[in-house]
Structure 1
Amino acid sequence: MMNGNGKEVIQFYEKALNAEIISNKILGERCENSDYPIPAEAKDSVGFALLKLGDSNLMLSDSHPGQPHQVGNQVTICIRTENNEKTKQVFEALQDNGQVIMPLQKTPISPFYGIVTDKFGVMFQIYTDIQNKIE
């Protein structure tokens, strides 16, 4: 999670890590049908980017409006599941003695998506993959 400098980060990683940009959606494009209006000043922020680094994927976005940026939370573990039941199971297991940051809900990128910090302070994004691929 970046603090409004996601575009700069993408350009830096593309050059420094020889990363291939697979996807780069701005927040205004990615969430335009959301039930939560995006403030005008945030619409040009990175909503979701996927970079390919060898055999690994790096996903990043700018912090969404209303979610404070906190140093130390820039890196999160993403868990992608194949169905909503598995997403719910993993989310509920991780929230035990942890903190729900964003409850499981439908989003423009997934039918079931949530963010939770586990009891050890590790932040996770858990989501159901729509088509077993990321656009």
Structure 2
Amino acid sequence: MQLNHYLNFNGTAESAFEFYRAIFGGEFAMLSRYGDLPNENSASLSDAEKNAILHISLPINAHTVLMASDINEQFCAQRNIPFTQGTNHYISINLDAHEQDEAHRLFDALSQNGAVEMPLEETFWGALYGAFTDQFGIQWMINCQLKNHVS
């Protein structure tokens, strides 16, 4: 299991991560845009929304990856939480395919008495993924990569 920081931005994820890359060095492990979503999900997006960052990750060292996305109301509607600069942070738990039972256990236990943003379910990027705010107001993501995603 790996714990990482996941940040949300209001349209500035790419600029922020270019800045972080200039400081920490390295290359992006992944950069995908909302326009890369399957067509049924991205058809209603404007060109500007399609260009926004869906997911970006920058390995900092062998144990830490900084990740982020730009928020999009169409895909974040379940949150009902307005974007607030400074509180746009998740703890992301990343697990391997053989840890699916642990992903379910952690999701169920940590989200108890909290608010589920997205149920733990299989996604188009080949992962078992879910997001929630725990009973103490801390935002979490569980991502159990089931197969390699090719963007």
TM bracket (short chain):
0.7 to 0.9
Inter-CA distance 52–134: structure 2 relative to 1 (3 Å threshold): farther
For residue 101 of structure 2, the aligned residue among 75, 80, 85 is: 85
Counterpart position of 1:71: 85
Show structure 1 runs of 4+ deviating over 4 A: 33-38, 132-135
Inter-CA distance 126–84: structure 2 relative to 1 (3 Å threshold): same
The C-alpha deviation readout for 1:42-78, integer Å capped at 9, x for no partner, is 1111111110113321111111333242334422111
Structure 2 distance, partners of 1:125, 1:74, is 13
SS in 2 for 1:58: strand
Aligned-pair identity (%): 26
Q: What amino acid sits opposite 1:25 in the alignment?
A: S
Inter-CA distance 86–59: structure 2 relative to 1 (3 Å threshold): same
Q: Structure 2: which 5+ runs fail to align?
A: 1-7, 77-81
Q: Structure 1: which 5+ runs fail to align?
A: none
Q: What amino acid sits opposite 1:76 in the alignment?
A: Y
TM-score (norm 2): 0.74
Q: What amino acid sits opposite 2:56 in the alignment?
A: A
Counterpart position of 1:48: 55
Counterpart position of 1:103: 119
Inter-CA distance 90–57: structure 2 relative to 1 (3 Å threshold): same
TM-score (norm 1): 0.82
Counterpart position of 1:125: 141
- Larger displacement relative to structure 2 (8-17 or 76-85): 76-85
- Larger displacement relative to structure 2 (82-91 or 117-126): 82-91
Inter-CA distance 34–124: structure 2 relative to 1 (3 Å threshold): farther
Inter-CA distance 109–51: structure 2 relative to 1 (3 Å threshold): same
